């Protein structure tokens, strides 16, 4: 706003130094994640929101969290407005017993409309991006007791990879880190015959950036 010796730009640079000097202090006095969300949604008294902002803008850790929530909120604002016509797919399907013919017709219409809309999107979104981790193996079904080799394609710049195997409830049953692009397990008791799992790999770059693979299923056959 002013262009004299103490310009806004110079004040901003000095303020970044203030924040940097504070670094990652204890979080005891930080507002809760819900309070950060309340600011973004303009919920609650303005006075309280201002108090939260006063803290967040002087706290590097809170600021990172605020930026994350802010990005999700803003991206979601558009989808909320556009989301009026959507199916509630993950609710319990009590609707199945109500007017099945009319419902089937509606679903058919939505499917057709949805497929037309999806066909206009970029192919990259459908297939995943080039810098994602490409899973190579094992096959979807393996014999119990046999060695299992998880393998994936290298990601440029990755300094390591994390492999996670989840059970049917989404709980992690196996988590391993490696610098290689494959990992072999031999007769691992954590993978039970007859069970179906899902697994995925995350690449960690030297900068701390992470890229994940899609999830893939893995069934261990009974002996």
Partner 1 sequence: MSSILDTVSSEIETVVSRFAALVRRVGQRHRLSDADLEDVLQEVRIRLWKAHSGTGQGSEQIGRVSASYVYRTAVSAAIDLLRRRRARGAEQTVTLEETEEPVAQGSDPTWSVEQSELAEQLTRALEAITPSRRPVLRMYLAGYSREEIASVMGWSEAKTRNLLYRGLADLRERLAEMGISCEPTA
d(CA 118, CA 132): 21
CB 149 within 8 A of CB 138: yes
d(CA 165, CA 145): 17
* Shortest separation between residue 193's beta carbon and partner 1, angstroms: 15
Question: Considering beta carbons, is residue 34 or 223 the nearer one to partner 1?
Answer: 34
Question: Considering beta carbons, is residue 101 or 125 the nearer one to partner 1?
Answer: 125
* Shortest separation between residue 52's beta carbon and partner 1, angstroms: 8
* Shortest separation between residue 158's beta carbon and partner 1, angstroms: 13
* Shortest separation between residue 59's beta carbon and partner 1, angstroms: 9
d(CA 221, CA 96): 34
* Shortest separation between residue 2's beta carbon and partner 1, angstroms: 7
Tokens of 203: 């690449």
Residue with tokens 């806004």: 8
Question: Considering beta carbons, is residue 162 or 188 the nearer one to partner 1?
Answer: 162
CB 61 within 8 A of CB 27: yes
Buried b (16+ CB within 10 A) or exposed e, 172-200: ebbeeeeeebebebeeeeebeeeeebebb
């Amino acid at each position: 706003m002013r262009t004299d010796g103490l310009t806004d730009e110079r004040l901003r640079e000095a303020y970044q130094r203030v924040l940097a000097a504070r670094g990652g202090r204890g979080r005891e006095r930080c507002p809760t994640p819900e309070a950060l969300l309340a600011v973004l949604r303009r919920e609650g008294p303005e006075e309280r929101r201002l108090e939260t902002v006063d803290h967040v803008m002087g706290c590097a850790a809170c600021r990172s969290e605020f930026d994350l929530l802010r990005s999700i909120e803003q991206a979601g604002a558009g989808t909320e407005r556009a989301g009026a016509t959507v199916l509630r797919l993950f609710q319990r399907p009590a609707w199945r017993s109500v007017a099945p013919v009319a419902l089937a017709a509606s679903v058919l219409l939505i499917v057709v409309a949805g497929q037309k809309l999806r066909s206009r999107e970029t192919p990259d979104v459908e297939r995943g991006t080039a810098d994602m981790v490409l899973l190579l193996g094992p096959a979807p079904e393996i014999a119990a007791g046999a060695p299992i080799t998880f393998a994936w394609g290298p990601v440029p710049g990755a300094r390591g990879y994390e492999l996670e195997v989840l059970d049917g409830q989404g709980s992690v049953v196996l988590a391993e880190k490696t610098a290689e692009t494959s990992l072999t397990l031999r007769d691992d008791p954590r993978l039970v015959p007859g069970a179906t799992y899902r697994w995925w790999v995350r690449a960690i770059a030297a900068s701390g950036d992470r890229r994940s693979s899609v999830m893939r299923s893995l069934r261990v056959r009974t002996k």
